[in-house]
A = this chain, B = another copy of it.
Amino acid sequence: MNEELLALCKRAKSAAPTLSVMSTGEKNRALRLISEGLERDKESIFAANAADVEAARQSGTPAAMLDRLTLTPARLESCRQGIAEVIALPDPVGRIESGIYRDNGLKIIKNRVPLGVVGVIYEARPNVTVDVAALCFKSGNVCILRGGKEALGSNKALTDSIRKSLSEGGFSPDYVQLIESTDRAVTNEFMAMRGYVDVLIPRGGAGLIQAVVENAKVPVIETGAGICHVYVDEGADLEQAAVVVDNAKTSRPSVCNAADCLLVHRSVADEFLPVVKARLDAHHVQLRCCPEALKILSGQEGVVAAGPDDFDTEFLDYILAVKVVDSMQEAMEHIALHGTGHSEAIMTRDMNRAELFLRGVDAAAVYVNASTRFTDGGVFGLGAEIGISTQKLHARGPMGLEELTTIKYTVYGNGQVR
């Protein structure tokens, strides 16, 4: 047992009761201080981030990961904008969901309450640190953060700023905790902290999720890994489809709602594949093709045969798997087998087929004629999001404030027995 980790978890657990009953006004005041503090401390935050980015570049980190690691002024401003949105959102805590008087005089009230202590394990994206801290705080939860080791300097600078702002405002800095150890054994102990951590949210790629699911002993919400498909049906508007596929792949390939696989109905493959290829060429997207698609695009630059894992990979890069299918049914079966339950899209003009796809595909978000990139807490009206749940329990899709709460029944009697 790592003593430092245990002490940190105990501090979090001890801090939880006061935060859980803090008024909305006080929580918003703290969030405003946190936002102002980030502006106050931005020089040291950018300096820490620049050092992280430089170290990562020198160790040969791929471009997509460097993008995620970088905290530009625009991204920090976007974090502050996220905090402002969280302040503006209604507080789910303290809401009475429903209630009932029973015939025997018992009054049963269903209340919304914070989860308590929320652990979040994520990759090297420092903006996540701010988003998570703000959402947890507003929903009355103490957060324990474990970010990717490449971003440790950035995360320390950010949480130092947040904790300083809390202290200066008269709040406990222990409401926001950062695990500074990057030792995997410590992370595994963290995942087993039953009694201290109420829920664990892994945010990141398939490897991270898998590690958490294998090792966690506290309840987990699986979040983030997205192998997303766009299926171009026969009779789709092919120009529109090319625009949507291009957007789904290239507007931000490093995030989970980006497309990884294009499925094309055989009847339109000959016409569509060259059209979409021409669009994707602007970003030098590599196409990893099934034999049929390979034949159609044969000899063109950036076209290769798909390997055995290419239909089960979240690329997070300018790479797209391509497969020609015989039918919508085959597309849906491919998605059932290879998808991760994140975001799936169909491009079609046929209303009946659209509804069949929407109903039959088992994922958090299913689209017709729109880019998978819209799966996002802001777009879905939740404000900043703590992650996108790809499991079915508790929350599915973007998770905002309400998804960070639970319920508690309070029952009032005057001596009732059963």
Contacts and interface: CB of A to CB of B under 8 A. Distances in A.
Interface of A: 17, 21, 100, 102, 106, 108, 115-116, 198-199, 213-214, 217, 219-222, 237, 240, 243-244, 246-248, 251, 354, 358-360, 362-371, 373-375, 379-381, 391-394, 396-397, 406-418
A416 B374 CA distance: 9
B392 A116 contact: yes
A364 to B, nearest CB: 6
A107 B413 CA distance: 46
Contacts of A247: 417-418
Given A362-B116, A418-B251, A406 B380 contact: no
A338 to B, nearest CB: 11
Contacts of A371: 413, 416-418
Contact of A396 (B221, B391, B408): B408
A215 to B, nearest CB: 11
A370 B246 CA distance: 62
Contacts of A362: 116, 408
A253 to B, nearest CB: 13
A343 to B, nearest CB: 9
Given A198-B392, A370-B412, 13 more contacts: A100-B380, A100-B381, A115-B392, A199-B392, A244-B417, A246-B417, A366-B408, A367-B410, A368-B413, A369-B413, A370-B413, A370-B415, A370-B417
Contacts of A237: 415
Contacts of A396: 406-409
A217 B370 CA distance: 34
